[in-house]
Chain A
Amino acid sequence: MKRTSEDGQSKLPDNTALKQQQLPAYRLQLSATGVLSCFFATGVFCLGMGIILILSAKSIKEIEIKYTKICGNCAKLREDATNFDKECTCSIPFYLSETMQGNVYMYYKLYGFYQNLYRYILSRSNSQLVGTDLKDVGNCAPFSKSHDGTPIAPCGAIANSIFNDTIILSYKLNSSIPIKVPMLRSGITWWTDKYVKFQNPSSINLSSAFAGTTKPPCWAKPVYELDGEDPGNNGFLNDDFIVWMRTAAFPTFKKLYRRLNRIQYFIEGLPAGNYSFNITYNFPVTRFKGEKSVVLSTLTWSGGSSLFLGLVYTVTGAVTWLASFSMMAVHLTLKDRKVLFIQQ
């Protein structure tokens, strides 16, 4: 008999909060005033944010010059791939009516270039780019090896299609001699890219490190001769190369090319006046009906941003207010009716 009572005890379910479904629960008690004030507060916040963002976006000074058509003859020349060794330059004068205060950044912008294609994005070898295994070109199809079987470094479709125009900005101080605007080519990459993702293979010098590999088919120079001026900016650590390798999300994108070195005349930024872009036109875009442009821009506290985010905030705020007003109206009419009902 005792045994059975023990059995009975063991059959008794445990009295724990989980098993008895008595975990503390909290149900949001929505009161009309609570919801309304919450809505109003959100609306105020969104409108405020929206205005701030719009103002700051407005404060950005930006100038964009599309040069595909302006340099039409160069574009035509580049359409024929056999002319790859013929140099083509193009000069675009423009007038800056207002001083661009503070840091000024120079971007190149491509229209209709799909850096986000599935196979394009995959076509790179990270193990090659960190310098551990130059011969690892497994993922790089269709640009993994040259015709004679030597592995390409850097391999892959991304690297092969690098943007290779040279853009030089010159300033005409006294409408006579143009001054080359000093530009920095450093500090235009993400930190992790420069210090983690991209490393040169270790060797005495770069050219020997890249021995046994060949340059990508579209490149004029091998990867260790990308920068003739600064030997530290060569190989996989070339800033322009790293920037290009960070593939864009959309077919229209701009990438940082240079930033203003604020010395001499340019301590305050870019003064108003006559400028010109001197472009060595190498990168063909007309083949795929693309366009390219060069952009000069300043930044604000939140980086460079468009009006869009500010507009979204403003619209959200406005909608929230509209909703809260209509809810208030409904609430008040119902309340009146309830009072009436009780009085009856």
Chain B
Amino acid sequence: LTAAPSHSVAEEERRARANDREYNEKFQYASNCIKTSKYNILTFLPVNLFEQFQEVANTYFLFLLILQLIPQVSSLSWFTTIVPLVLVLAITAVKDATDDYFRHKSDNQVNNRQSQVLINGSLQQEQWMNVCVGDIIKLENNQFVAVREVALQGNKSLPLFWQIEMKTNMKVRQAIPVTSELGDISRLAKFDGEVVCEPPNNKLDRFSGTLYWKESKFPLSNQNTLLRGCVLRNTEWCFGLVVFAGPDTKLMQNSGRTKFKRTSIDRLMNTLVLWIFGFLVCMGVILAIGNAIWEHEVGTRFQAYLPWDEAVDSAFFSGFLSFWSYIIILNTVVPISLYVSVEVIRLGHSYFINWDKKMFCVKRRTPAEARTTTLNEELGQVEYVFSDKTGTLTQNIMVFNKCSISGRSYGDVFDVLGHKAELGERPEPVDFSFNPLADKKFLFWDPTLLEAVKMGDPHTHEFFRLLSLCHTVMSEEKNEGELYYKAQSPDEGALVTAARNFGFVFRSRTPKTITVYEMGIAVTYQLLAILDFNNIRKRMSVIVRNPEGRIRLYCKGADTILLDRLHPSTQELLSTTTDHLNEYAGEGLRTLVLAYKDLDEEYYGEWAQRRLQASLAQDSREDRLASVYEEVESDMVLLGATAIEDKLQQGVPETIALLTLANIKIWVLTGDKQETAVNIGYSCKMLTDDMTEVFVVTGHTVLEVREELRKAREKMMDSPYAVGNGLPCPEKCSSAKLTSVLEAVAGEYALVINGHSLAHALEADMELEFLETACACKAVICCRVTPLQKAQVVELVKKHKKAVTLAIGDGANDVSMIKTAHIGVGISGQEGIQAVLASDYSFSQFKFLQRLLLVHGRWSYLRMCKFLCYFFYKNFAFTMVHFWFGFFCGFSAQVGHPQPLLACVRDGLCPCMEYPKLYEPGQLNLLFNKREFFICIAQGIYTSVLMFFIPYGVFAEATRDDGTQLADYQSFAVTVATSLVIVVSVSGWTPATGHFFIWGSLAVYFAILFAMHSNGLFGMFPNQFRFVGESLWLLRELVIYIIFLVLSPVIKEHSV
């Protein structure tokens, strides 16, 4: 090592030596003191203000305020700007301050937690913030892990322990075998191994490092590490070496992840605001030119009564100043406050989603959660839903249902007549009373399987032995005989439970052994290796040595993968098992294939050596390991297959039917077999028997896939249902035309495509063809897809269809899809919370999707559109009056009416569950687009014309009934403002909840009006409140009411 790398330079690798603080300090690793707070008392004001003024809206207000402080430009009293600005800043600051206060509090709490650190050979209590990289700390059961650490040693009796990730998901972690032998504290204190590992990153499930100790290297993997924020379970204690501390830990690296998904309305709004800004500048220029001309023609002559301001020396300069004055006056036309209002509305809708009782899952006690507050109205525009199957459409509660053991299928239930029995008329379930360790909740109806076990059939025994050995399930035995299994995946749990009931009870495990009670006799297997499951391998294996000393590899995995790696001698068995597999999949069951392989001692020894080398490799360790695994998992002997039932979630078919009625297209992307997927498709009503045809694409080559897609398209066009224009499309018709034809296909089609075909279909030259075909179908099922393909499919639709996409899933393999789609929905279910963490909305059952889209989505969309239209309308109506007045006051930047205050919360409710068709306007973006915007603007301008010119026409000649003057500026301004408020409030009216707001805002308006015009305020500030008595005396005038009255039909005409 040359020099200690400074922290600013990107860390390439991390070195931490145990019990050597001096050595570790050289690297200046982050301490464990975490600081999530942003401010302290001194820095709060400047930092917070600086942050707030990075918002465009605030800067804009500030700019206006500065303009207003120039006396020649100022055209409104400065408080009309400063009051809202200060209000917004203060509210935000208070919110930030409270947030930060709580962050301080939690930081303090976390930093001051106690942990036991090994210092100078003895365990000492130390606060979390003082723990350093390289320290050895002791953790006890149910304690939070303070840092990311490498587990050195576990409790001797229970060397494996669990950690609970984020409170829902258990993961197995294991101490490094070599250090487990260290024993007592004094020897641990002398431990001077050095860990070299990857720099801090945010990948929760990855870790690669090497431990150098006593001149030898030991591999470290994710299996050996504990993550910060997890809780230790199932072990009394463990010692660990701190590798990452504080901000470098994976939890901290993952928290605070902000991603910005913007809705289409957001983007539209940005464009519109720019246009309006242009419009504002245009108005300013027109009025400035008007001012210059007026000053030149009239103003110069009028100087006896009103000399020009000292700073003004020419009409041109006066025009220039009046431009800025008008920018101030007309600033309300640029709806900067719109962004704030829109955010508030969205936040409100998010709360409505969180509060919804009908989206609360009683069983799991989880309410729906809007994790992103900015996407609500896009929920009302969804056209494509991409759904995962397992755990999303289904419950992900696995039940061992059928199995095939060496060519014989078990699990079918026959009634007396020999037909397959239906639910409800089943005979008594199999009696497992012979087995005291059996799980009472496990039900199985085929007695022949148990008979086979009892008969001692070697294949059946081996079958269940495999199930009881090849897994990563943990057992917990609170009382004698009361076994609880904790499994990382529900499939494993179901299989191990099945083995348990059939007499092969998995009892306990250590890092080196597995104890199984085989028909009541305890047998301890030596565990030599676990070849872990992952999404690419799609299989897992264990290598065990039985008490007789024979080494055997047990493997279970997906049929596609496993059937290729069998020994050629089992060809006959293979074909029957394949038949069984297809039969199971056809019933919608999830299948796994089981196989074993005997290894001789010599080969194993050699292989174990290679495996160790691969796991110590610094680069591409994963690939090397995979190839080593692949080598041993070959030429296996087929044992049989299992079929697990994953029941559909409640309400799924109804939801899918409803969403289909709402013209939402549902694509299911699943990793399951084609038959399973199709079957689920039928059972959840995605596919129906009424469908004209279900196309299945299973081609293995580009040409095959292309041909299949072409045929599907041809069929769709040739069908008598095709409406088209009646003319058959000639062979050479372009793909663009093809689309239009396909859009018009009337029959109901569905497309099922396999993973390997999908890979070809997603290639650049075929993706459009695929998309056209798929989009013409009512339902699309992609099976055997990888997580990456899921994301690719979503991306494809997103890119070419300009439609809003929603992805829903529950597992880690759905994360990429959830992140890609416009809206990601996470199901908080059995598979942990990775999907939820990546999602924008989360709830616990698929059926809530209908409420999310059809109720909340639609309402959000409707309200947002209504609000936007109303907002633009209101702004234009109010602001344009100033513009018109400009032509009557020598363009002197006089306001047409005093700035009124407006409450503008509107409501629009309409049920959509009963009428799913009502969802369509959102998909077609009908309610707020550029056309609607211009209509609103036109209405606003029209209103402003009426609101200005009708009072103008009346006031020009009118006098009060005692003959005194009425056409004075103050009366005119108040009349215009009041009629504007009335008209604009009332025209925003739709349903009755609005009554409250309309009369409310009118009442507030009049209250403020009278207050501002009261004698008291005038007495105090005669120069500010010049409108004293105006409203009171004005509203005694009959003619004013006549003016208001004439405006009401105007409102009606525009609202009808």
Chain A interface residues (CB < 8 Å from chain B)? 4, 7-8, 11-15, 19-21, 23-28, 35, 42, 46, 49, 53, 81, 103, 105, 107, 112-121, 123, 125-127, 129-130, 132, 138-139, 142, 157, 160-161, 187-193, 196-197, 218, 243, 246-256, 259, 284, 287-289, 297, 299, 301-306, 308-309, 312-313, 316-317, 319-320, 323
Residues of A within 8 A of B956 (CB): 250, 252, 306, 308
Residues of A within 8 A of B358 (CB): 20
**Which residue of chain B has the shortest Cβ distance to A138 in the bound complex?**
B1023
Q: Which of B355, B958, B972 contacts A19 (CB 8 A)?
A: B355
Asked if B355 and A26 make an inter-chain contact with CB atoms under 8 angstroms apart, the answer reads no
Q: Which of A117, A196, A247 contacts B1029 (CB 8 A)?
A: A196
- From B351, B894, B952, B990, name the one whose CB has the most chain A CB atoms within 10 angstroms: B894
8 closest residue pairs by CB, A with B: A192-B1029, A26-B992, A8-B365, A306-B957, A126-B1022, A304-B959, A249-B972, A19-B355
Asked if B963 and A299 make an inter-chain contact with CB atoms under 8 angstroms apart, the answer reads yes
Residues of A within 8 A of B968 (CB): 246-249, 253
The answer for the CA separation of A12 and B909 in the assembled complex, in Å, is 24
Residues of B within 8 A of A21 (CB): 352, 356, 859, 909
Residues of B within 8 A of A12 (CB): 357, 360, 362, 365, 367
* Min CB–CB distance B882 → chain A (angstroms): 11
The answer for the CA separation of A46 and B1050 in the assembled complex, in Å, is 11
**Which residue of chain B has the shortest Cβ distance to A312 in the bound complex?**
B1046
**Contact residues of B between 1003 and 1056, Cβ < 8 Å to A:** 1015, 1018, 1022-1023, 1026, 1028-1030, 1032-1033, 1037-1039, 1042-1043, 1045-1046, 1049-1050, 1052-1053, 1056
Asked if A319 and B971 make an inter-chain contact with CB atoms under 8 angstroms apart, the answer reads no
**Which residue of chain B has the shortest Cβ distance to A14 in the bound complex?**
B355
Q: With A116-B888, A121-B894, A127-B1023 given, name 20 new contacts (CB 8 A).
A: A11-B366, A23-B993, A25-B993, A28-B991, A49-B1045, A81-B304, A114-B889, A117-B889, A117-B892, A118-B325, A118-B892, A120-B892, A190-B1033, A196-B1029, A197-B1018, A252-B956, A289-B298, A303-B1038, A305-B957, A306-B954
Residues of B within 8 A of A126 (CB): 1018, 1022-1023, 1026
The answer for the CA separation of A319 and B946 in the assembled complex, in Å, is 15
* Min CB–CB distance B952 → chain A (angstroms): 7
Tell me if B195 counts as interface (CB < 8 A to partner A): no
Residues of A within 8 A of B357 (CB): 12-13, 15, 20
**Which residue of chain A has the shortest Cβ distance to B1052 in the bound complex?**
A42
Asked if B1049 and A46 make an inter-chain contact with CB atoms under 8 angstroms apart, the answer reads yes
Residues of B within 8 A of A19 (CB): 351-352, 355
Pick the interface stretch among B11-19, B37-45, B305-313. B305-313
The answer for the CA separation of A250 and B965 in the assembled complex, in Å, is 12
With known contacts A81-B304, A126-B1023, A303–B910 Cβ distance under 8 A: no
Chain B interface residues (CB < 8 Å from chain A)? 75, 298, 301-302, 304-307, 309-310, 325, 351-352, 354-358, 360, 362, 365-367, 859, 888-890, 892-894, 907, 909-910, 950, 952-973, 990-993, 995, 1015, 1018, 1022-1023, 1026, 1028-1030, 1032-1033, 1037-1039, 1042-1043, 1045-1046, 1049-1050, 1052-1053, 1056
Asked if B298 and A114 make an inter-chain contact with CB atoms under 8 angstroms apart, the answer reads yes
Asked if A27 and B892 make an inter-chain contact with CB atoms under 8 angstroms apart, the answer reads no
Asked if A309 and B1037 make an inter-chain contact with CB atoms under 8 angstroms apart, the answer reads no
Asked if A312 and B963 make an inter-chain contact with CB atoms under 8 angstroms apart, the answer reads no
With known contacts A161-B305, A249-B968, A301–B365 Cβ distance under 8 A: no
Asked if A188 and B890 make an inter-chain contact with CB atoms under 8 angstroms apart, the answer reads no
The answer for the CA separation of A320 and B365 in the assembled complex, in Å, is 58
Asked if A303 and B1046 make an inter-chain contact with CB atoms under 8 angstroms apart, the answer reads no
* Min CB–CB distance A305 → chain B (angstroms): 5
The answer for the CA separation of A249 and B967 in the assembled complex, in Å, is 6
The answer for the CA separation of A316 and B959 in the assembled complex, in Å, is 23
The answer for the CA separation of A23 and B992 in the assembled complex, in Å, is 10
Q: Which of A4, A256, A306, A309 contacts B965 (CB 8 A)?
A: A256
Residues of B within 8 A of A316 (CB): 1046, 1049-1050
With known contacts A11-B366, A249-B968, A20–B355 Cβ distance under 8 A: yes
The answer for the CA separation of A113 and B306 in the assembled complex, in Å, is 11
Asked if B889 and A309 make an inter-chain contact with CB atoms under 8 angstroms apart, the answer reads no
Asked if A250 and B352 make an inter-chain contact with CB atoms under 8 angstroms apart, the answer reads no
* 26 CB < 8 A contacts A-B: A13-B354, A20-B356, A42-B1049, A114-B298, A118-B892, A120-B305, A142-B310, A161-B304, A188-B963, A192-B1015, A192-B1029, A196-B1015, A246-B965, A248-B968, A250-B972, A256-B959, A256-B965, A289-B301, A301-B1038, A305-B957, A305-B958, A305-B1039, A309-B954, A316-B1049, A317-B1049, A320-B1053
Residues of A within 8 A of B966 (CB): 303
The answer for the CA separation of A20 and B1029 in the assembled complex, in Å, is 45
Q: Which of B306, B355, B973 contacts A119 (CB 8 A)?
A: B306
**Which residue of chain B has the shortest Cβ distance to A46 in the bound complex?**
B1049
Asked if A105 and B1028 make an inter-chain contact with CB atoms under 8 angstroms apart, the answer reads no
Asked if B889 and A288 make an inter-chain contact with CB atoms under 8 angstroms apart, the answer reads no
Residues of B within 8 A of A26 (CB): 991-993, 995
With known contacts A49-B1042, A116-B894, A320-B1049, A304–B888 Cβ distance under 8 A: no
Residues of B within 8 A of A46 (CB): 1046, 1049
Asked if A196 and B1038 make an inter-chain contact with CB atoms under 8 angstroms apart, the answer reads no
